[in-house]
Amino acid sequence: MRKIIHIDMDAFFASVEQRDHPELRGKPIAVGYDGVRGVVSTASYEARKYGVRSAMSMQIAKRICKDLIVIPGRYDRYKEVSLAIHSIFHDYTDLVEPISLDEAFLDVTHNKKDIPFASEIAKEIKQRIKKELHLTASAGISYNKLLAKIASDFHKPDGLYIIRPHQALDFIAQLPVEDLWGVGPKTAQKMHKMGIFNGEQLRQCSENHLKAVFGKIGPAFYNYARGIDERPVVTNYARKSVGCERTFLEDLSLPSAILIELYHLVVELTERLEKSKFVGKTVTLKIKFNDFQQITRSITTHKRLRTKNDILPLAKQLLQQIHYSNIHPIRLMGLTVSNSVTEDGNIKSEWVQLEFGFLSTRNKYR
């Protein structure tokens, strides 16, 4: 039986800010951009008491929490702290799968310290994070990734929860389907229309029916309802694309302004391609309009795409296919290179360590 731990840092960005700035401790803070289109990246637990949540509009957050302190994100700092956290993980196992800067899966079935119980390892890791980094983490423990992830959300902050094999079916039976892996708002809505609100109701559906309704992920839902998740803890990922995007503080409809933004996106994209040593043959332009309608346009070439001169002409060509106007302006623009290849032109199969990037916004056209 596998022993899987999911570690989730508590309000990570906000907690780092409160640790580094003692005057912020005990106060409601939100990390993010304090602007018209700013969103909350992370809220401290003091702010969450007022209903402030991640991904919430910063303007709404400030309305519901009058004393909210908005802190600009320091992502280089968060990456630095995240590396220190992962260093602790690797003292116990090299089977560490990073999900984001503040969470990871650990397979401790066979661990470096020969500790027999995963719960003891999780306790040690939590204690070390608190003692060495002055931060708190919550841990979930089970025999697969699905249940370990769900367990880590219980008893937060600074919590530890175990779902043992004999408890799994009863636990899942009462679990809202929204808590299952891969069930987003649209999928949940579709399940609700089918009369499926919890794991027990999901378990009544046949695999064929779930596959017919939800496609490839249908069999996974069938297994999840039964506590089955065979996915391994993966330490490396095959990078399939490199991209970047920007949400504008003001909607854009002026062609010259849009071209300038496209140019800056190309420059940022080429920097990311160089850093990741990624080469592809397909470039994709993503556009989101002010009414949140989203479209993409792609083009594939025989050339290897890695420089500004390679990508900019193709990006401009794709932009010409986009119809925008004063009454249908652009809110967001993104650019991605995919379809990876090696230097000799073959499909790239090399495995690379997952990296985490952060998106930026610009406000040059007021």
Q: Catalytic residues, which ones? A: 103
The Cα–Cα gap between 139 and 160 comes to 5
Cβ 141 vs Cβ 115: under 8 Å: no
- CA nearest to 261, candidates 202, 205, 329: 329
Intra-chain end-to-end CA distance of the chain, in Å: 59
The Cα diameter of the chain in Å comes to 65
What tokens were used for 138?
A: 């919550």
- CA nearest to 7, candidates 130, 113, 174, 173: 130
Indicate the residue type of 306: R
The Cα–Cα gap between 27 and 285 comes to 41
The Cα–Cα gap between 355 and 274 comes to 13
The Cα–Cα gap between 61 and 69 comes to 10
The Cα–Cα gap between 152 and 162 comes to 9
Helices and strands per DSSP (H, E), number in the chain: 13, 12
CB 311: neighbour CB atoms within 10 A?
23
Cβ 171 vs Cβ 154: under 8 Å: no
- CA nearest to 331, candidates 297, 299, 286, 270: 286
- CA nearest to 141, candidates 119, 121, 159: 119
What tokens were used for 292?
A: 């949140």
